[in-house]
Amino acid sequence: MTSTTDNHTAFVRAQGVLPGGVSSPVRAYGSVGGDPRFIASARGAYVTDVAGREYVDLVCSWGPALLGHAHPEVVAAVQDAAARGLSFGAPTLGEVALGEEIRRRVPAVERVRLVSTGTEATMTAIRLARGVTGRDLVVKFAGCYHGHVDALLAEAGSGVATLALPGSAGVTEASAAETLVLPYNDLGAVERAFAERGSEIAAVITEASPANMGVVPPTEGFNEGLRRITARHGALLVLDEVLTGFRVGPGGWWGLENSVLRSQGAEGFTPDLFTFGKVVGGGMPVAALGGPAAIMDRLAPLGPVYQAGTLSGNPVAVAAGLTTLRLADAAVYARVDEVASVLSSAVGEALDAAGVAHRVQRAGSLFSVFFGELAASAGVRDYAQAQAQESFRYRAFFHAMLDAGVNLPPSVFEAWFVSAAHDDGAVEQIVEAFPAAARAAAAA
Ligand code: PMP
């Protein structure tokens, strides 16, 4: 028999040794309140906490679990790799195969550098852009989150948004001064920034389709416009697909958006650099950056831009990522799209029935709910609008869902993640929980 403890006891003990009781801020129930669930195990669409209670999971490790938790073939690949050695500090053929698989999905990626976290991928992309252009400034958008890189924490989404922080203490003024933060979906603001300081801008970094201020897709022509403006001024465009990459479709958001553009007779757009994470590691620490050889070969050992890692391309982690990508076929993407479609409609209907003004926004299989009249009437196109929503309603909604055995992201600023393992039974359990949660949100 396994011993169980309750989540409160676990949290009290955790707070005695881990700041805030967690290893990453969004895991704390900072904005929803209560004790975070300490997870003991997970399988398919379900997670089980230390008290032995099972929940249908809509966090999915914040993205990586596209196939569901502990997919048997992924676990077998990991066990097999582990038995052959945990880390060699030398190249392996698994890294080559993972690089080739990424390139097969996103042909503009001629070369891939494997790293361990999305933060490392964006940090390296920024350094590479500065090294290639000889310029210092970076443009980012308010509400976009690119990891905890000094230069990219200003007005960031995700946990920075959840905790309502403007940025982070400990970031030097010099570093902050090298970042220009612009409103999302506002090409005019980008044009003006380049008109004023274009010759100093090394790169524009953007989430391919933002999902760290809630889901706020790019308006028509926004990503293409960024490509046009950066190209005109000799700056690089970095498309951050850490969250969207290989989750919203086989070629990430770039693949989805370009197939739509091309079906309309447009040329499509291609950034200079891509960053990947989450699904690319299948639940293990693998992330990547990629782009054309002419840029990527400026990285050491071929070029002068230094980047390295003892555990980069770790063989056990790469086995998880490679097996996940190989299993992520058309049927997997069709299933996550279908689950997202059913859940996003059902939550909307339940909130309507309870009289809660809201807007459900969706980008591929990613979606989230914004609360309040403002969001309901005009939709949410940028961070200011996302922040203006009635976030307090989410707290009640979240806890009602949790009570009904559904594990939602503990912040209104995060996307809801589904997996191909969410079968009809799991979907039904979620849908059945919506009406009571909607009434709780109405009463909040
Ligand atoms: N970029 C985006 C778009 C992300 O969503 C995240 C993580 N949520 C990161 C970068 C950072 O990745 P990591 O947490 O692996 O450092």
Domain containing 208 — which CATH number?
3.40.640.10
pLDDT at 25: 95
Whether 319 and 170 share a structural domain: yes
Whether 128 and 13 share a structural domain: no
Question: CA dihedral in degrees (329, 214, 24, 183; nearest 10)?
Answer: 110
Task: Measure the CA angle with vertex 56, ends 52 and 61; round to 5°.
Answer: 95
For residue 407, tell me if it sits in a domain: yes
For residue 422, tell me if it sits in a domain: yes
Whether 323 and 348 share a structural domain: no
Whether 93 and 184 share a structural domain: yes
For residue 1, tell me if it sits in a domain: no
Ligand 1 pocket member 363 (CB < 6 A): no
For residue 152, tell me if it sits in a domain: yes
DSSP structure class, residue 174: H
Ligand 1 pocket member 241 (CB < 6 A): no
What parts of the chain have a pLDDT lower than 50? Answer: 1-2
Whether 222 and 335 share a structural domain: no
Q: What are the CA-CA distances from residue 406 to residues 25, 65, 232, 276, 377 (Å)?
A: 21, 16, 48, 28, 28
For residue 337, tell me if it sits in a domain: yes
pLDDT at 3: 59
pLDDT at 1: 42
Give the span between the Cα atoms of 406 and 178, in whole angstroms.
42
333 counts as catalytic: no
> For residue 215, which of 34, 380, 66 has the smallest C-alpha distance?
380
Residue holding tokens 């880390």?
87
Last residue of a domain, one of 289, 309, 327: 327
Domain of 413, in residue numbers: 7-67+329-443
- Count structural domains, the chain: 2
Last residue of a domain, one of 307, 327, 347: 327
Last residue of a domain, one of 299, 327, 355: 327
Ligand 1: residue of 61, 114, 243, 311 to mutate (most ligand atoms within 8 A of CB) is 243
End-to-end CA distance of the chain: 41
Structure tokens at 104: 């097969």
80 counts as catalytic: no
ipTM above 0.85, yes or no: yes
Q: Which atom of ligand 1 is found nearest the CA of 241? A: 3
For residue 2, tell me if it sits in a domain: no
pLDDT at 173: 87
Task: Name the residue type at position 102.
Answer: I
Whether 351 and 316 share a structural domain: no
Kindly provide the residue ranges of all beta strands, DSSP E only, lying in 154-299, ordered along the sequence: 179-182, 201-207, 236-241, 273-276, 287-291
